[in-house]
Structure 1
């Protein structure tokens, strides 16, 4: 197995370029982040070049966080803001060589939200395709993120099928999917052709993946057997220095 450090969670006490270097020193194969936009893209590119790591992905901006926004692209009436955030993410991804962009839906519901999200995803896919960038959508669980538009893999697959473009894929976060749907092994087996990225954390506390409801040694053995060769993203909360939470990585590599 190969692993990516999600720097929105791991080493999030460090400036992003230094977090990239820390992930390399710890043995990760790649990195990913959430919202890097306040940092010059050149600083990120320099750290990636120095370490030889690939930036797997980043998120579109959430909008006005102080007002409660958590994404914009499914919210009717805010299409201009959503597309500006998509354009910004694509430009930043091009500058740092990121492979994927997670387009965040936001807090909303209903048929018009479905139509709005589909139209904005089509816009994102068409703008990203010439640059070889994949657009990702991620179902989030209703306990941590109540009111978020996208909550299940079936809902996500419906959108992917409706948009019908090859660079729209599912971000399969094992933590969120376990809380909402369970049956991870069979679900990954069935959905693998639609999956653009996999993330993981323990359930229910979203801590390091060496405890909790999910037997990750077993699950990642299945994923490895299925031929998923991309790095899986460690997106979990630490209760101390990140380096002290990484025993699982050596153990899993030995197993798989």
Structure 2
């Protein structure tokens, strides 16, 4: 069965961030992911991981002013130096926390910047990041995000992601396939996953509509979990959803997942 990681930016938000590690472990998760670790020291987070027997699965490269509404800067021509500094910072944290992959958020295409210029900037930044990360033994994934939740997000479907991956030309660059985002943008989930499986290094989930837990919407997760096993996906699945009520109440789907095998 694929391994499940709790997204601590979305789950267990009833408690303070540093208490969510224990809550995730008690709920049965073996790994965790979240948006960013940078508000805490790497050493303090590592202590929480070790105390609760958790694997650090993923976090994002610094993505600009998140609280101010930015959703990544990798396609912003005027933020290249900031992006590069963020890569170094992410490597520092990953070396301590032990995660073997980080995610790059392209960001919203800036006003007044053409698609070609945004793409060229994104490709150049990915080339810079993927080489530095490879030297540190870390893989880079990039995530396509739907343009309903984040209007204007630059990277928004699998075909585009594969095209950019080819332009970067590195075997150390992979896709992060978010089932929720891609259900909205392209559908045909099973076939798309199978056809791109060799380049997918991380999967995330939420149901649609609402971005709530599996079983609350239209996506057949019972089928998809079995299908991921059948096609040979052996990476982590990040549970990046908004609980419909509370985190604890929304975890009942895990019992059904555990019985699928």
TM-score for the superposition, normalised by structure 1: 0.96
Structure 1: distance between partners of 2:43 and 2:27: 23
Are the aligned partners of 1:76 and 1:113 in contact in 2 as well (CA < 8 Å)?
yes
For 1:50-65, what aligned pairs fall within 5 Å after superposition?
50-65=51-66
Q: Is residue 164 from structure 1 mapped to residue 169 from structure 2 by the alignment?
A: yes
Structure 2: distance between partners of 1:154 and 1:12: 34
Q: Which residue of 1 aligns with 2:229?
A: 224
Are the aligned partners of 2:140 and 2:172 in contact in 1 as well (CA < 8 Å)?
yes
Aligned residues: 256
Structure 2: distance between partners of 1:105 and 1:206: 21
* Superposed CA offset, 1:136-160 (max 9, x none): 1101101000011101111111111
TM-score for the superposition, normalised by structure 2: 0.94
Deviation at 1:247, TM superposition (A): 1.3
- 5+ long unaligned stretches in structure 2: none
- Of 121, 127, 131, which aligns to 2:132? 127
RMSD: 1.3
Farther off after superposition, 213-222 or 76-85: 76-85
Structure 2: distance between partners of 1:60 and 1:48: 20
**Structure 1 residue ranges (4+ consecutive) displaced by more than 3 angstroms after TM superposition:** 65-68
Farther off after superposition, 51-60 or 168-177: 51-60
Are the aligned partners of 2:102 and 2:141 in contact in 1 as well (CA < 8 Å)?
yes
User: Secondary structure at 1:105's aligned position in 2?
Assistant: coil
- 5+ long unaligned stretches in structure 1: none
Are the aligned partners of 2:201 and 2:235 in contact in 1 as well (CA < 8 Å)?
no
Q: Which residue of 2 aligns with 1:210?
A: 215
Are the aligned partners of 1:9 and 1:235 in contact in 2 as well (CA < 8 Å)?
yes
Are the aligned partners of 2:213 and 2:244 in contact in 1 as well (CA < 8 Å)?
no
Q: Which residue of 2 aligns with 1:81?
A: 82
- Of 176, 191, 195, which aligns to 1:190? 195
Are the aligned partners of 1:174 and 1:198 in contact in 2 as well (CA < 8 Å)?
yes
